[in-house]
Structure 1
Amino acid sequence: MKRDIAKFVARCSNCQQVKAEHQGPGGLTQDIDMLTWKWEDVNMNFVVGLPRTRRQHDSIWVIVDRLTKSAHFLPVKVSYSAEDYAKLYIKEIVNLHGAPLSIISDRGAQFTSYFWRSFQSGLGTQVKLSTAFHPQTDGQAERTIQTLEDMLRACVIDFKGNWDYHLPLIEFSYNNSYHSSIAMAPFEHFMVEGVDLRLGGLKWVNFLFLVPR
């Protein structure tokens, strides 16, 4: 049955028109860090330029675990401050997975600000910025963003101004789909060894900014 479904999708004209090319370019192999535990090393990036929803969201913050390939898709606004991102990060990532040891991201203003780097340093997280003009450094998030955009483009007519309302279902679908690189779905990989919330690198963070005013 899986084989028949794969053949059908491969021949689907709509899929061929909507979906981006996901084959990586040829070239020399690159050294990568050895990954040892889930949600210790993550990639993050943004999907921008989306139609504004009724709740005023116009972008998606994509955060991917490099080991299990599991991801979170968080609706955000381009007007968010670094403080807003920090609050959301604590609520949606640290609260569920602990603080990562490292983050790979592009050189967007959200990730290069003094506040963000100091905030992550306080959590014991090392911020690694992708090399300018070499987005392959952040390939994990870039690949996930391509997949997410494929799913959004295919469903945007139905979603209209409520794509943020449906985003949790898109996240579930992504995490419950087979990934050839890990030979299973991210959900399966994530649950293989249970959960270990780590804050081993925690130094000091002033959490006063998290208190509602």
Structure 2
Amino acid sequence: MATSGTYAFTLDLTDMIEESFERAGLELRSGYDYRSARRSIDLLMLEWQNRGLNLWTIQEGTTSITAGTARYALSSDILDVIEVYIRTNSGDSSTQFDQMMTRVSISAYAHLSNKLTQAKPLQYWVEKDPGAIALNLWPVPDSVESYTLGYYYMQRIEDSGSPGSNEMDMPSRYLPCLVSGLAYQLSLKRPEIADRAPALKADYEEQWTLAADADREKAAFKVTPGGYRF
């Protein structure tokens, strides 16, 4: 039996949009149809990131820490911070040490009696502004040691862009979900196929569940009961 021997199937924007129009029972006929569909794709990408953690968007970053400075603004492409650690003796193979930091709420941060206390940072509050986010460290870094702040973050999915030859910033296994989601979005815009919306939505949700389940963390998870605290 002859096979292709390749594993590179993907769809560019034009192919994705055409497939979605066909699933919705429509034809892609004009430049406006294309622009409208591309706009819906970008909105879908934002919806996906509101749904939860997409593992392929997780990246690692580091930044140097300045003694006496508590607030550190991060790049605008960062949606949220997942884990943060403080590193000492960075680059030294024998003494480099990472210590995980604890994320606290704005309420817990606000209740700190002295926000100017200087020592090795142990906690952080994530300040979310419309344009970007920032990490507020406590205690405020001191000058006793040289610290590096490391963090794992959820990066925003790239925009679709204009050229039809562009591919989306996602694994190919999410293509069925994207095509189904766009077909559903099209049914919300076109009154003539509004009756197909429930079926298209059901298909979209099924494809999302399949993709999200395949993308979940598969490492072992251990829970140790610790009793009750009063």
- Tell me which interval the TM-score lies in, with the shorter structure as reference length: under 0.3
More strand by share: 2
Larger Rg: 2
User: Normalized against structure 1, the TM-score is what?
Assistant: 0.26
User: Normalized against structure 2, the TM-score is what?
Assistant: 0.25
Higher relative contact order (CA 8 A, sep 6+): 2
